[in-house]
Amino acid sequence: MTILEIKKEFFGKIDPLDLDLIISSAIKKPREFVLAHPEYEIPKFKIENLKLKISRRKRGEPLAHILGHKEFFSLDFKVTKNTLIPRPETEIIVEEVLKLNPKNKVVIDVGTGSGNIIISLAKKIQEKNIFFGIDISEKALRIAKQNAKRNDLDEKIKFFNGDLLLPLIKNRKLEIKNSKFIILANLPYLSKKIYGAAPKDVKNYEPKSALYSPREGLAHYEKLLKQIGLLQTIINQESKIIILEISPEQKSKLRPIIKNYLPKAKIEFQKDLAGKWRVCKIFIN
Ligand SMILES: C[S@@+](CC[C@H](N)C(=O)[O-])C[C@H]1O[C@@H](n2cnc3c(N)ncnc32)[C@H](O)[C@@H]1O
């Protein structure tokens, strides 16, 4: 079968761009080749697998799972059913940290998933910083480590398995004096209602444990802020910047939670490119 024949057979059944990308990955040639060479004869032994991938997409499986990877901040990340597929709106978190131009900082990514945020940062920032990635899912962490290796950053980023900041506290990684901390988190933040209304491909194929959080989507952030509050009084009084990805309707609900655990914090919210409140920045001096 040629590329054209495959395209004709599946025309209108899946998105044409997805079809091109699945063909491109099956024949291991760039999308430009798929567009420019409709007459290309696809090797027979690849056809069955190619059709299987197209039917997976037809059933609603995310393209990133079928291809096994997803681009984020111009880098390529392996993704599986155990990791959240990196979302474009999360790139703001990376941009916000880059604006701070960190030097000699401890940068911590809580809920690292595929490692997309911390790896993008470690790749961009040349100066000396310490990078930590944490996830409660061992399976996700395994993928994050593979992604760090893929990007030659396995020496630069240390990954820990555990609940929020606990593994760093247990391993005494936060007892660093005279150093600023940048704590980033894109933790599960969808409320029951929003998770319930999420598209089927999200609910059927992405881990609920990466998306849903009780108490209007804020239980994970509340627990993290509580940990940081305790950390601030007991272990480490150094200044900290906390950057959280949020759901737009959480702006007003999050403020009193922050003030409860970090009364002296300065709080700023920021919109994403779609004009929705997406980032919460917290400064503790
Ligand atoms: C929304 S996903 C974000 C993944 C990735 N950072 C990104 O931006 O695409 C949330 C991640 O937090 C992890 N997670 C959930 N609860 C956690 C906890 N209590 N401690 C650490 N990580 C947690 C999940 O396993 C998941 O990988």
- Confidence label for 77 from pLDDT (cuts 50, 70 and 90): very high
Burial class (CB within 10 angstroms; exposed 0-12, middle 13-18, buried 19+) of 51: middle
Using most ligand atoms within 8 A of CB, pick from 136, 184, 208, 212 the residue to mutate for ligand 1: 136
Residue nearest to atom 9 of ligand 1 (CA): 86
- Report percent pLDDT > 70 for the chain: 100
Burial 221-253 (b: 16+ CB within 10 A, else e): bbbbbebbbebbeeebebebbbbbbbbeebbeb
Q: Is the alpha carbon torsion for 95, 283, 235, 162 positive or negative?
A: negative
When pLDDT is averaged across residues 130-148 and rounded to a whole number, the result is 98
When pLDDT is averaged across residues 49-69 and rounded to a whole number, the result is 96
Contact between 20 and 67 under an 8 Å Cβ cutoff? The reply is no
- What would the pLDDT profile of 154-164 be if each residue is shown by its tens digit? 999 999 999 99
Distance CA 6, CA 200 (A): 27
Residue nearest to atom 14 of ligand 1 (CA): 111
- Confidence label for 235 from pLDDT (cuts 50, 70 and 90): confident
Q: What pTM value is reported for the model?
A: 0.94
DSSP three-state, residue 270: strand
Distance from residue 40's CA to the centre of ligand 1 (Å): 42
Distance from residue 15's CA to the centre of ligand 1 (Å): 29
Contact between 38 and 20 under an 8 Å Cβ cutoff? The reply is no
- The CB of 113 under 6 Å from ligand 1? The reply is yes
Which is it for strands 277-284 and 266-271: parallel, antiparallel or unpaired? antiparallel
Distance from residue 135's CA to the centre of ligand 1 (Å): 6
Distance CA 276, CA 99 (A): 20
When pLDDT is averaged across residues 192-199 and rounded to a whole number, the result is 96
Q: What is the model's pLDDT at position 205?
A: 96
Residue nearest to atom 12 of ligand 1 (CA): 111
Distance from residue 207's CA to the centre of ligand 1 (Å): 10
When pLDDT is averaged across residues 108-114 and rounded to a whole number, the result is 98
When pLDDT is averaged across residues 195-213 and rounded to a whole number, the result is 95
**What number of residues does the chain have?**
285
Using most ligand atoms within 8 A of CB, pick from 209, 221, 225, 246 the residue to mutate for ligand 1: 209
pLDDT at residue 180 is higher than 90:
no
- What domains can be seen in the chain, in order of their start residue? 3-59 (no CATH), 70-284 (3.40.50.150)
Residue nearest to atom 13 of ligand 1 (CA): 111
Using most ligand atoms within 8 A of CB, pick from 94, 108, 186 the residue to mutate for ligand 1: 186
